[in-house]
């Protein structure tokens, strides 16, 4: 046996040893069984990425695929393959899963075999794959900000298809690190009572502006902010006029808490109360979900088989209902603190706003948040009484 032969055998054996150097366990999501890292899979120290806290997110993706019936689905950065395997197994869609990690590729194959589904597994650079093929549904869930892949993902989605984008860099989007948000998303955030909604709208606006560069437009289907991530699901189409009109700025008063949208040529410096306004954006100023689709999504999620169905149904119902008001929500506790009055009950505030002819709805962003079409000063007086 030559020295060259020995060296080649060592190279062959070592990757297999590394793949099995950590413990795995079988978990169940929906009707799908998955091999996943026993340690949880969310640390960079893990061989393959798997986040059990994203089960709710994956339930929604599966339900959307059942409703929208895409012919093809691409999981761009698949990790353990949890999302793509579930879509193939529970929605019957043709699925392609991609990951550069050879350990992930092997685990995806095992998970496909475990569930008896035929999927295509790739191990290619994400942007190279996106630029070479077209899909009806492209799902982009990177470990960090998605900005470097959005253009390629938009180019890969067929007209009329769906783009799913997940962002976990919420500290930048929500204003903790405004310079990072400006650098990544070319938008200025604001840390205020509705910071998470502003972050989601900045992300959606970033995707909308990217679509315009391709002479395309987007219609948000179901977007939300949950735990540590923000999630956008949008239809990509060839009509871009409405998308262009839906991108603007928010002006916010830190003193009286007034807020309102404006286009670039309509921005002003001072609030009606005399304070200097903060300007946020550019961002998405329209609805961030389709209310009719939310109702159908809620019905689908209520079916047995979804492990997070109770949370998912509540989320779909709340997101659908809050689209009646596009102005960002108010946080009742923050408003009472600003006015230096005791906290009021939400039911009491709802009654006061409705008695004044206003619209009132809860929001999924915050348990103490509410949306209304009335300006802050119109119900601030009632809170002071």
The pLDDT value recorded for residue 37 is: 83
In tens, the pLDDT along 18-77 reads: 344 568 889 999 999 999 887 665 555 557 888 888 999 999 999 999 999 999 999 999
Average pLDDT of 93-108? Answer: 95
How sure is the predictor about 17, in pLDDT bands with cuts at 50, 70 and 90?
Answer: very low
Domains in the chain: ranges and CATH: 3-324 (3.40.50.150), 331-384 (3.30.56.70)
The pLDDT value recorded for residue 1 is: 40
The pLDDT value recorded for residue 42 is: 56
The pLDDT value recorded for residue 2 is: 38
The pLDDT value recorded for residue 379 is: 80
The pLDDT value recorded for residue 39 is: 65
Average pLDDT of 203-213? Answer: 98
The pLDDT value recorded for residue 305 is: 84
According to the 3-state scheme, what is the secondary structure of 18-40? HHCCCCEEEEEECCEEEEEECCC
* CA gap 259, 373 in Å, rounded: 11
Beta carbons within 8 Å of 178's beta carbon, 6+ residues apart:
172, 188, 189
Average pLDDT of 210-235? Answer: 96
In tens, the pLDDT along 258-269 reads: 999 999 999 999
Beta carbons within 8 Å of 117's beta carbon, 6+ residues apart:
85, 88, 89, 95
165 vs 11, more confident: 165
**DSSP H helices in 69-191:** 82-91, 102-115, 126-132, 150-156, 170-173, 178-185
The pLDDT value recorded for residue 21 is: 52
The pLDDT value recorded for residue 149 is: 97
The pLDDT value recorded for residue 199 is: 98
CA atoms within a 13 Å half-sphere pointing along the CA-CB vector of 269: 0
């Amino acid at each position: 046996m030559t020295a060259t032969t020995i060296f080649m055998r060592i190279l062959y054996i070592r990757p297999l040893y590394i793949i099995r150097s950590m413990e795995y366990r079988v978990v169940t999501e929906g009707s799908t069984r998955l091999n996943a890292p026993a340690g949880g899979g969310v640390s960079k120290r893990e061989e393959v990425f798997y986040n059990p806290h994203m089960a709710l997110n994956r339930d929604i993706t599966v339900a959307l695929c059942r409703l929208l019936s895409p012919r093809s689905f691409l999981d761009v950065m698949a990790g353990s393959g949890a999302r793509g395997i579930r879509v193939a197994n529970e929605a019957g869609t043709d699925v392609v899963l991609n990951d550069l990690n050879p350990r992930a590729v092997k685990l995806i194959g095992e998970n496909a075999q475990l569930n008896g589904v035929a999927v295509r597994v790739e191990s290619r650079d994400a942007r190279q794959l996106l630029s070479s093929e077209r899909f009806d549904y492209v799902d982009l869930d990177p470990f960090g900000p998605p900005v470097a892949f959005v253009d390629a993902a938009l180019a890969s989605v067929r007209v009329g298809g769906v783009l799913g984008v997940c962002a976990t860099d919420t500290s930048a989007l929500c204003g903790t690190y405004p310079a990072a948000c400006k650098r990544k998303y070319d938008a200025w955030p604001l840390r205020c009572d509705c910071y998470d909604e502003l972050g989601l709208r900045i992300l959606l606006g970033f995707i909308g502006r990217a679509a315009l560069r391709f002479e395309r437009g987007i219609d948000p289907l179901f977007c939300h902010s949950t735990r540590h991530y923000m999630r956008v699901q949008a239809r990509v189409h060839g009509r871009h006029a409405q998308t262009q009109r839906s991108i603007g700025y928010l002006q916010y008063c830190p003193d009286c808490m007034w807020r309102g949208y404006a286009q670039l040529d309509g921005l002003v410096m001072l609030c009606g109360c005399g304070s200097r306004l903060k300007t946020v954006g550019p961002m998405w100023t329209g609805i961030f979900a389709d209310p009719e689709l939310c109702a159908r999504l809620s019905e689908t999620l209520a079916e047995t088989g979804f492990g997070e169905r109770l949370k998912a149904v509540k989320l779909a119902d709340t997101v659908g209902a809050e689209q009646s008001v596009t102005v960002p929500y108010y946080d009742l506790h923050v408003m009472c603190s600003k006015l230096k009055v005791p906290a009021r009950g939400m039911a009491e505030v709802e009654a006061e706003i409705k008695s004044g002819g206003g619209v009132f709805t809860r929001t999924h962003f915050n348990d103490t948040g509410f949306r209304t079409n009335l300006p802050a000063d119109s119900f601030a007086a009632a809170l002071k009484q």
